[in-house]
Chain A
Amino acid sequence: MKNNAGFGDKYRRKSGWTRVIAVIAAAVLLLSACSAGGTPAAPLSGKTVVDYLGREVAVPEQVESVAVFYNYIGQVVALLDGGDMIRAVVEGMKRDELLRRKIPGIADLPVPSGQSSINIETMMSIKPDITLMRYETAMNAGDIENMEKAGFLYAVVDFFDIETQRESIRLVGEIIGRTAQAEQYLAYYDQTLALIRSRTADIPEGERIRVYHSVNEVVRTNHPNEISYYVLEAVGCINVAEGFSTAELGGKVNVSVEQIYLWDPDVVIANEPAAVEYMRTNEAFTGLRAVREDRVYQLPVGASRWGHPGSLETPIAALYIAKLLYPTHFEDIDIREEIRDFYHDFWMLDLDEEEIESIISGVGMREPKDGRQ
């Protein structure tokens, strides 16, 4: 396989005929690869989807195998009950407790996309029907050229706010043939946000809680291209960092500790247990009002870290934050019950009390890197 591709590559520069032959050879290889997987191969007679970049991608009618190059995409595929289609993952997914349950044999799945490039030879040994990657990966021209040269089909799946996240879920649903599951999740998504908005709409401006959201690190907060920015908007709180974008470094908003003091938030929420620990114990934060009043909260960690820029569990995370901030407006909502239902309905997982506790405390759902077996 590898040799053939090498020959095609070598002759391609010489004449148009050899190029045609190479393309045919590649197509034949791809076809045989698909039929080797035991499925009737019809890559070009399927449906056409429009990916995040606006590319029209012709997808086989029945996708049987998928390579995912980003955690979020892997989570969406697993959420839409496509976990058993996944043939290639990224390293981070292997440490995620819920994904381990949804993707069979995840520990042994290959990781063809490193931080710097895509390993085409690994891809050739996997031969996925389609590869799903995020925007940043697709921006690497060299990788994309290699993927195209080797004849691998790919689609770009990404998002930056609520609307684009919803579209990304719909897109993955279309690609892997799980549109019903996608619509079901999106309906829940809509209902939950609508519920939150209706409950918090009448809170007067002066009573809205001012929130600082620590994203991964203590001194990083959400950027207007990160979903959590819109989650805070949706739950009806005041994001202290709103409009603070003068310090963007590579799409991140880094702030100084003194800036946090200047904002003087009522509540701090953080998606990383280490950040909560740091703020509660470090002497630099002892004077912060939210710390003194013990209002620094850890966001739960489910399949993803809620509030992380790549988090899929937006509706339940929004509900959790809304109840955290405005408990009197959500007295009838039992958040544990909601979490249990959420994972039961969409992840087909029956969690016990201990597991729900583990999700809420954010501890134990993501294995630290050194603890890998």
Chain B
Amino acid sequence: MDTLEKQAAKPALLLVFITLPFAAALLSLCTGRYPIPPITVFRALLQGVSGRQAGVSAEAMTIITGIRLPRTIMGAFVGAALAASGTAFQGVFRNPLVNSGILGVSSGASLGAAISILLFQNSTLTPVFAFAFGLMAVFFSYIVGRVHNSSSTVTLVLGGTIISSIFSSLLSFIKYIADPLNQLPAITFWTMGSLASIVVSNMKFAIVPIILGMILLLFNRWNINVLSMGDQEAKMLGLNTGATKLTVILGATLATAGAVCVSGTIGWVGLIVPHMARMLTGNDNRRLMPVSISMGACFLVMVDVLCRVISDAEIPIGIMTSIIGGPFFIYLIKKKKGDGWT
């Protein structure tokens, strides 16, 4: 997590946004069907780090380090990545309604995952395919959106919508021909998004591009501010709009593709978390971006906790984010009366 701009933020607030994700993570580690007292959670973590026996049963050890820890870490990274790229896209496209999937990365990743499930039934290839197809979809959107050698925000959004729609149709087709006994549940489960099936060996596929993407976005915070004034103004201020836009798109795409390739498509985080952050910080991306990242991490970890608590079974997190996110978004619109976004 990056820090807020020193001169702009009170140190106390800074501390809050740094500690908040860790607090959420801690809560997540202590919650689940299997009752494990917090002290045992600490012992298990200690034993995991030091390798010295701390009197934790094999069951509790696996549940903490093999189940809860991976999904907590991934939840935080995925939430942060989706929120960061949503914030970036909302700024670059000057549109409060776009989210991290606007250029087709999510539908591309879903298609890639479905193809992999259909062809190989191999879980290690699925994130690779998802990642590659996510990038591919954004690349196509970019090509489609490029008119007269420049990429206006409108044509880019249009390109993204078209490509998303094509990829979604192809996904529907694959679901149609998939084996209803074996493959269909896997594909459906994947497209609903889940942190439950995260495996440690897949985490590297996600975390490396997420960190790279977020670094790119954090370095371009100011540039996003400039881009959000419009292409002409940005050019007048001496910004190479084409190159900057491409860099931001690349950063946001890397982060989102990294996220969806292991967790499936998780909606709404990339749309509402930037708005929640915006309510606190305003539209200045220098502060908005890090706050979004922190809140995205908290939001997804907390929703995942909720998923585990409210039912005996696993509810796919993508369903929960929409169920919680939708009404919350309506509340925001009503409360803010649309201010600050236009």
Contacts and interface: CB of A to CB of B under 8 A. Distances in A.
- A in complex with B: yes
A255 B182 CA distance: 18
A277 to B, nearest CB: 10
Given A256-B312, A284-B62, A287-B58, A92 B179 contact: yes
A256 B33 contact: yes
Nearest to A262: B34
B61 interface: yes
Interface stretch (A30-38, A158-166, A198-206, A244-252): A244-252
A274 B32 contact: no
B60 interface: yes
A219 B181 contact: no
A148 to B, nearest CB: 25
Contacts of A115: 176, 180
B120 to A, nearest CB: 7
A278 to B, nearest CB: 8
A288 B181 CA distance: 27
Given A216-B181, A256-B313, A288-B59, A116 B34 contact: no
A257 interface: yes
B62 A288 contact: yes
B179 A369 contact: yes
A283 B169 CA distance: 35
A220 to B, nearest CB: 8
Contact of B33 (A253, A254, A258, A308): A258
Contacts of B180: 92, 115
A116 B312 contact: no
A368 B61 contact: no
Contacts of A285: 62, 66
B66 A370 contact: no
Given A246-B311, A247-B311, A247-B312, A257 B196 contact: yes
B199 interface: yes
A283 B199 contact: yes
Nearest to A245: B312
Interface string B166-195: 000000000010011111010000000000
A284 B312 CA distance: 18
B58 A262 contact: no
Contacts of A283: 62, 65-66, 199-200
A15 interface: no
Contacts of B176: 114-116
Assign chain A's interface to a size class: 35 or more
Contacts, number: 99
A159 B180 CA distance: 19
A254 B63 CA distance: 18
A286 B312 contact: no
Contacts of A247: 311-313
A328 interface: no
Nearest to B68: A258
Interface in A200-242: 216-217, 219
Interface residues of B, number: 33
B121 A259 contact: no
B14 to A, nearest CB: 35
Interface in A122-154: none
Nearest to B178: A369
B13 interface: no
Contact of A244 (B119, B185, B199, B312): B312
Nearest to A116: B176
B59 A256 contact: no
Interface string B305-336: 00010011110000000000000000000000
Interface in B268-313: 308, 311-313
Given A283-B199, A287-B62, A369-B183, A257 B67 contact: yes
A240 B176 CA distance: 35
B62 A286 contact: yes
Interface in B61-91: 61-63, 65-67
Contacts of A284: 62, 66-67, 199
B284 to A, nearest CB: 42
Contacts of B33: 256, 258-259, 261-262
A287 B66 contact: yes
Nearest to A218: B197
B207 interface: no
B227 interface: no
Given A115-B176, A246-B312, A286-B66, A258 B181 contact: no
Nearest to B61: A287
B118 interface: yes
Given A261-B34, A370-B119, A370-B120, A216 B185 contact: yes
Interface string A271-290: 01010001000111111110
A287 B60 contact: yes
Contact of A256 (B62, B118, B120, B196): B196
Interface core residue of A216, A249, A257, A272 (most chain B CB under 10 Å) = A257
B67 A91 contact: no
Given A256-B33, A258-B67, A369 B118 contact: yes
B181 to A, nearest CB: 6
Contact of B32 (A254, A255, A258, A287): A258
A264 interface: yes
Given A115-B176, A217-B185, A261-B34, A254 B313 contact: yes
A258 B311 contact: no
A254 B176 CA distance: 23
Across the A-B interface, the 7 shortest Cβ-Cβ residue pairs: A287-B62, A247-B313, A258-B33, A254-B313, A258-B34, A287-B58, A283-B66
Given A261-B33, A370-B120, 18 more contacts: A92-B180, A216-B185, A217-B185, A219-B196, A255-B314, A259-B312, A282-B66, A282-B199, A283-B66, A284-B62, A286-B66, A287-B60, A287-B63, A288-B59, A288-B62, A369-B121, A370-B118, A370-B119
21 contacts: A92-B180, A219-B196, A254-B313, A254-B314, A256-B32, A258-B67, A259-B34, A262-B34, A264-B59, A278-B123, A284-B62, A286-B66, A287-B57, A287-B58, A287-B62, A288-B59, A368-B121, A369-B121, A369-B182, A369-B183, A370-B118
